A and B are shown apart, each in its own frame.
Chain A
Amino acid sequence: MRKYVLRRLLGMIPTLAIISILVFTVIQLPEGDIVTSTLDRLSATGVDLSDERIQNLRAQYNLDQPLFVQYLAWIGNFITGDMGFSYLYAQPVNELVWERLGYTLLITVCALLFTWLLALPIGIYSAVRQYSIADYGFTTIGLIGLATPNFLIALILMYLGYTWFGLSFGGLFSPEFLNTPWSWARFVDMLAHLWIPVVVIGTSGMAITMRLMRANLLDELKKPYVITARAKGVPPLKLLLKYPVRIAINPFISTIGLLLPALLSGEAIVGVVLNLPTTGPLLVQSLITQDMYLAGSLIMLLSVLTVVGMLLSDLLLAWVDPRVRYERA
């Protein structure tokens, strides 16, 4: 097992290297750079810079260097923990990113738990009572959740909250707590805001999780080992949870890693709509303004998280399923 973990960790290096090249290339693909987009904004307000100033700006940001030099400078610093400088915010990327990344992870993990805590029991119920009215009802609700874009649900919730309760759901904190240090009251205030993005992001995965659990469990319920356990006198509820559910749940554990990127990208749009202090709005903004170091570092960080998440979910799967464990020993 230790060998397997080591092998996987080493395997992450080339994966991340390729991702970093892709990320850098994609960010460079659109015409222009941070200087041209800044110039556009300046000329829109009637300010024109001399060619010399422009050249100086380019040199200041290393933009006059060949692309691979720019890439090496960026990735080299990234590895040593220096993610560069954001032109847009005129701050080091490190200062901008970490707190937001924390909130993003918090919301994403909460959304995942929310999805599972609701969808898995419903999936189990739907499988055990296949073709019942409740089964159809849950499926319908789930599919509506799947078909409705996240940001639309966010907008509807905000509208309803505002018109019915006079509440503003934007952000993660009330204005009075925005810049205060952490306290119990601030934590409670955050929880009061947190559920909205969690529900909005969580709903999108609900239908798929529900239907997958239903399908997995229906397959398992027919397996002979379930009948063996029934024949030996295991009480019905214990039997359901201990045998088929236990096995039907494995695929979910192995897809945590796959869910992360989906949840993160879903979070980006919702983050903009709900004005959340997460990485999503920051990423969108940095991509629009071609703020290279900020955009690249954010995408790299999310990629690292995803790759690590995949490893974690594989290790979890090996922990719960002995067959996987022995295969990889």
Chain B
Amino acid sequence: MSESLLSIKNLSVEFKTELGKVNALNEVSFDVPRNSITAVVGESGSGKSVTSNAILRLLPDTAQISGEIILNPQGEDPLNITSLDERDPRMQNLRGGLVSMVFQEPMTALSPVHRIGDQVAEAVLCHRDVSPEVAMAEAATMLEQVGLTEVDKKIRMYPFEFSGGMRQRVVIAMALICHPQLLICDEPTTALDVTIQAEILVLIKSLQRKLNNSVLFITHDLGVVAQIADRVVVMYDGQVMESGSVRQVLKNPQHPYTRHLLASIPGAVTDSGSQLHAANWSDGAPIGAGTFLADAEEGRQVREFSQ
């Protein structure tokens, strides 16, 4: 099998809002190869999360999807995710079985009233015909693999008794327990302390090597990309700016936006050896204006950089 595990072709997503249609994704195309980590990087609103949610069809009903998301799972028929119906049994298999997801907010991603062990074991019960005891034993094993200690005690505890880092480990265990071929991580370290961030990144990378799956890693942090990813997709304003291997894109960015993004890392030195200087402050926009505030302050935006 030479084709990529996941191939996204001309994916567009529109949201119907009260103010009309908002174009969140515009003809996005990229591939996620097997047994590797692909990072999608971009600023807020660039469409990273919409892309990842579209893969699991987790977008709200107001979203209109066009284009193709083709999954080529090993040992199973290829699947066009965009054409699946919500009630299709293949949908249940896709979610959590073939593809699973780790979310940004570990503090709220777990149900507050269900025990840790039950929540992890439920993923097993949803996809395989095993007894609850077997599922619970597998959950315990998986929780050990993601680095929790005293698992026998912890599976009976509730999420609010856990720290953020521990909860994110639980979410990762929950995502990996059915051995998905693709793990999507949507900014999994953004809400965590810096020290915990590094631990979680190392965990995701080592588990990817161990389980031989693919990871689609959504982040806004180029430092994280350099640390973890094999390939990178740079997104801006719902479009793919550039994609390629991490080495190639970070060392020799082709697109001006990628160069700006690299230059925006504090302390980073660009190829020309000089640091970024902002030039041409423009696009003044009033901030704080409204019915009750007469005086609006003007905020300005950097439009161009000298390099």
Complex CA–CA separation, A232 to B114 (angstroms): 15
Segment among A85-93, A200-208, A316-324 that sits at the interface with chain B:
A316-324
Instruction: Name, among B96, B110, B160, B171, the residue most crowded by chain A CB atoms within 10 Å (CB to CB).
Output: B96
A-B CB contact pairs (8 Å), 26 listed: A224-B103, A225-B109, A225-B111, A227-B103, A228-B103, A228-B110, A231-B95, A231-B101, A231-B175, A232-B100, A232-B126, A233-B95, A233-B97, A233-B123, A233-B126, A233-B178, A234-B96, A234-B122, A236-B86, A246-B113, A247-B112, A320-B113, A321-B113, A323-B113, A323-B158, A326-B160
List of A residues within 8 angstroms of B175 by Cβ: 231-232
Complex CA–CA separation, A212 to B171 (angstroms): 31
> A interface vs B, CB < 8 Å?
223-225, 227-236, 242-243, 246-247, 320-323, 326
B134 CB–A CB distance under 8 Å: no
Are B174 and A233 in contact (CB-based, < 8 A)? no
B58 CB–A CB distance under 8 Å: yes
Are B112 and A323 in contact (CB-based, < 8 A)? yes
Are B93 and A225 in contact (CB-based, < 8 A)? no
List of B residues within 8 angstroms of A224 by Cβ: 103, 105, 108-109
Other A-B pairs beyond A228-B109, A231-B56, A233-B126, 15, CB < 8 Å: A224-B105, A227-B58, A228-B111, A232-B100, A232-B122, A232-B174, A233-B92, A233-B93, A233-B94, A233-B96, A233-B127, A243-B111, A322-B113, A322-B158, A323-B113
B43 CB–A CB distance under 8 Å: no
Say which size band chain B's interface belongs to: 20 to 34
List of B residues within 8 angstroms of A230 by Cβ: 56, 58, 95
List of A residues within 8 angstroms of B126 by Cβ: 232-235
In the complex, residue of chain A having the shortest beta-carbon distance to the beta carbon of B118: A242
Which B residues, 234 to 261, have Cβ-Cβ distances below 8 Å to chain A?
none
List of A residues within 8 angstroms of B108 by Cβ: 223-225
In the complex, residue of chain B having the shortest beta-carbon distance to the beta carbon of A246: B113
> B interface vs A, CB < 8 Å?
56, 58, 86, 92-97, 100-101, 103, 105, 108-114, 122-123, 126-127, 158, 160-161, 171, 174-175, 178
Are B171 and A228 in contact (CB-based, < 8 A)? yes
List of B residues within 8 angstroms of A235 by Cβ: 92, 126
Q: Measured between C-beta atoms, what is the minimum distance from A185 to chain B in Å?
A: 46
Q: Measured between C-beta atoms, what is the minimum distance from B192 to chain A in Å?
A: 15
List of A residues within 8 angstroms of B94 by Cβ: 233
Enumerate the 3 nearest inter-chain pairs by beta-carbon distance, A residue then B residue, closest first.
A233-B96, A232-B96, A233-B95
List of B residues within 8 angstroms of A246 by Cβ: 113
Q: Measured between C-beta atoms, what is the minimum distance from A67 to chain B in Å?
A: 51
Q: Measured between C-beta atoms, what is the minimum distance from A133 to chain B in Å?
A: 16
List of A residues within 8 angstroms of B96 by Cβ: 231-234
Q: Measured between C-beta atoms, what is the minimum distance from B182 to chain A in Å?
A: 12
Complex CA–CA separation, A246 to B113 (angstroms): 8
Are A228 and B112 in contact (CB-based, < 8 A)? no
